[in-house]
């Protein structure tokens, strides 16, 4: 309703304060109808844009979850839905757990495997991160799957 009022005011303004002499361009009823149609179209446009943006964010969260980037996926899902971070994290975990892994487990580098066999699991995970450049969560996932 606010948009209708603003558009009505903008249509009324030139007639109330004319720059050129002459009769008003529109009668009040025509102004109201035009403002209602334009405001409805503008409102519908805003709704479509918001809906499309939300769908884009949900698809981005899905792609991130599929790549194993749960933290980033959680943040994107939070932005898309407005749910709390804990709830988003739970949803992402459930989504990831319900999907079979499409990629076969990658073998661990030889140096990392030797550290693990020597009982130095923490050092092995740290070395895996250094060698591969992945984050801690992804390195732990790689470690568990290997």
State yes or no: pLDDT of 101 exceeds 60: no
pLDDT in tens, 9-42: 776 666 665 555 556 666 777 777 777 787 888 8
The Cα 146–Cα 137 span in angstroms is 14
pLDDT in tens, 36-72: 787 888 888 888 888 888 889 989 998 888 888 888 9
Give residue limits of the domains in the chain: 2-98, 110-145
The Cα 54–Cα 42 span in angstroms is 18
């Amino acid at each position: 309703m606010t948009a209708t009022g603003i558009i009505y005011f903008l249509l009324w303004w030139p007639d109330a304060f004319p720059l050129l002499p002459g009769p008003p361009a529109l009668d009040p009823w025509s102004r109201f109808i035009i403002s209602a149609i334009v405001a409805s179209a503008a409102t519908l446009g805003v709704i479509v844009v918001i809906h499309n943006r939300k769908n884009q964010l949900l698809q981005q969260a899905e792609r991130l979850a599929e790549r194993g980037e749960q933290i980033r996926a959680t943040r994107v899902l939070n932005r898309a839905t407005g749910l709390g971070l804990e709830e988003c994290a739970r949803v992402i975990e459930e989504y990831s757990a319900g999907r079979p892994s499409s990629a076969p487990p990658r073998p661990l580098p030889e140096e990392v495997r030797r550290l693990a066999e020597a009982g130095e699991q923490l050092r092995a995970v740290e070395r895996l991160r250094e060698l591969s450049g992945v984050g801690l969560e992804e390195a732990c996932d790689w470690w568990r799957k290997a």
